[in-house]
Structure 1
């Protein structure tokens, strides 16, 4: 039985002004989400928009005020002892994208991996009373809070489970959609085994440190992608947790930090990079351009699959401001290690107000050679028609002969193959 405020799409607030404020804030949030979808070349599904207009997000946002609750950004709800986010209410634009990727319909049975309450309520609105929603999280504090918020908001029929989603839930069952809302380095066997035939797994999967929300479906004994979107999530905990490797490139101080992030099992000689940024910088510009506002995130995956030693380079804002490195994005820009040399893709330089040119910067004894290797792969991506990637997920131990053509990346539970079927 739906509560009155849920039937009317109005949250349980106390004054007419509160109702007007929340309605205006929610409308503004949806306008931002719609604009973000348009920028991504997507259309906000009508049923998802209806859910966004119905579910009272502020009831799931903890102690933040109404304005913050309806911003189109994530709301952190739990920090660890180092101040890092352990749980959050994800940005609503990203939740809307992933719900659209899942293509939910009334009557679907849905498993959400990673709880907070708000997304489960959105799912419940879309699948309706004939569907079912199960949300699972390893943290009892998170599930207790999610259960309380869901009940208070009128969604007490959502099943909340405290367990490690690396393993199948009990009692065993299958789902028409599994939506993972934590950053995943691997695909445990429990997820494909719980996915019904014709179902969709939406998972923010990390490959070489790059996270994409992939839509995967059963096909010939594998999971094969239909879509992907750039995203970022709090990392998986429990048996599925994975720690990458941080390699500092500067002597750390309070202001200037530059380093590499390695997220896979291959290793590099970090000692060989000592002092590499002190060497002169070589700049190579490619003549290849991109229009303002045009996404080129698939180029990152192209570079990851074609450059041995691929890494992400990160830097503090002070290191960027002082010109130690020239990155477009301080939290992870494509780079590669070539022996004692380091090359990375810098911030594209403006040709005019609406066109920007890709380049390659490098430091090291053979910096010119390394910069040109990176530039050549940007050129290859362009000559291939700026193709879209396809991901297929195969059980660990699958022989090479049984894998499709493409770049193979081995995880603990699966073998991933990234291919470029639209490449010229």
Structure 2
């Protein structure tokens, strides 16, 4: 089930039961407590302006607030993603939980999980969002949840320490308040964004750092306030843009635009193309100068770039050249073969590096969950560790087993 036809099933109780069954079938829900929470909370009460079928759709978000230009600022997250993150969190009765980002329904799930002996606090920078969440929570019977208007970057220190901190907006960094607000055996679940790709990561303490227990692909609206991402972008031409949040990566729009006019170099890896989200994660954290290439349909139809750029693809860039992933049909590699398209004076060198990583991933790491993330708070060491991404408050590293 990805959507339910309101003409077929109109009763919200039936929609909710169907949602829970399908979430179980898809292994988004794997525990009885999370199943019970999703069965208990009247999800549609937190999206009164939306059709029932949309409120109970597994993979759809419900817009809650837009700016004057129509940009979505806040949504009710998709049920599938909420279930996965709650399973990652491993919440138990009696726990104290802080949610950063207030949609309302997730706080209700949290209250069901911690029970009457637990505490749930939800914080958001937007007063409108908090007031809406408060109204929905009260009307649905979750008056015990505490709502706070504040910048989530600072946490809610009055209630610390927390057994769990769950972030429901895409975060570019992990501020000291989130780590400092965790209990000794606490867990942080955060959608962490690195160069345009986001993973929901469950972090536990490991000495002075954090280490991941699990991760999964996630899509969230970005964090606002002090925690907003520091991103640069280069518009190459209409419909083609390159973005990066790594200060060490060069981005020259004129030079990269000229590169796209140069003859294309294709390099095929001989390796299977599979599990694109895992492959892209590996490339993002292993390419020496990574950015993310995006293109619209018109640019792809004009053959300016390959179709892989439609949803965003890891790109290896230099001052005057660019390389990115593509694929072609190849029965010898199980259906598709991964490859590289490169442009510019350094196309050969970039294609060689990119193709080497494609082969290494396919040979050594072609499976789900092969990465382990660490977050090391404090000033970045010099030199930076391999696969390290510097951030304002620390560094993100990843290794593959």
Match of 2:293 among 299, 313, 325: 313
How far off is 1:166 after superposition? 1.2
Alignment partners' CA distance in 1, 2:222 and 2:380: 27
Match of 1:128 among 115, 122, 128: 115
How far off is 1:127 after superposition? 1.3
C-alpha contact (below 8 Å) 1:327/1:347 kept by paired residues: no
Matching of residue 392 in structure 1 with residue 400 in structure 2: no
How far off is 1:347 after superposition? 4.1
Match of 1:83 among 70, 73, 77: 70
Alignment partners' CA distance in 2, 1:69 and 1:371: 45
C-alpha contact (below 8 Å) 1:109/1:177 kept by paired residues: yes
**1:167-196 alpha-carbon deviations (Å, 9 max, x no partner):** 142524211111000010011000011101
**How many residue pairs are counted as aligned between the two chains?**
391
User: Which TM-score applies when normalising by structure 1?
Assistant: 0.86
Q: Name the CA shift for 1:91/1:273 in 2 (closer, same or farther; >3 Å).
A: same
Q: Name the CA shift for 1:273/1:290 in 2 (closer, same or farther; >3 Å).
A: closer
Matching of residue 333 in structure 1 with residue 313 in structure 2: yes
In structure 1, the residue matched to 2:343 is: 363
Segments ≥4 residues shifted beyond 4 Å: 17-20, 398-401
Written as runs of structure 1 = structure 2, the 5 A alignment for 1:100-115 is 100-115=87-102
User: Which TM-score applies when normalising by structure 2?
Assistant: 0.91
C-alpha contact (below 8 Å) 1:348/1:357 kept by paired residues: yes
Alignment partners' CA distance in 2, 1:20 and 1:273: 53
In structure 1, the residue matched to 2:24 is: 34
Alignment partners' CA distance in 2, 1:91 and 1:390: 25
How far off is 1:122 after superposition? 0.8
C-alpha contact (below 8 Å) 2:273/2:327 kept by paired residues: no
In structure 1, the residue matched to 2:227 is: 240
Q: Over aligned residue pairs, what C-alpha RMSD do you find?
A: 2.3
In structure 2, the residue matched to 1:258 is: 240
Matching of residue 152 in structure 1 with residue 139 in structure 2: yes
How far off is 1:110 after superposition? 0.7
How far off is 1:210 after superposition? 1.8
Match of 1:408 among 377, 380, 388: 388
Alignment partners' CA distance in 2, 1:337 and 1:219: 34
Alignment partners' CA distance in 1, 2:303 and 2:332: 22
How far off is 1:241 after superposition? 1.2
Alignment partners' CA distance in 2, 1:391 and 1:191: 17
How far off is 1:47 after superposition? 1.4
Q: Which has the larger displacement, 79-88 or 259-268?
A: 259-268
C-alpha contact (below 8 Å) 2:272/2:334 kept by paired residues: no
SS at match of 1:386: coil
Unpaired stretches in structure 1, ≥5 consecutive residues: 1-16
How far off is 1:44 after superposition? 2.4
SS at match of 1:274: helix
In structure 2, the residue matched to 1:97 is: 84
In structure 1, the residue matched to 2:4 is: none
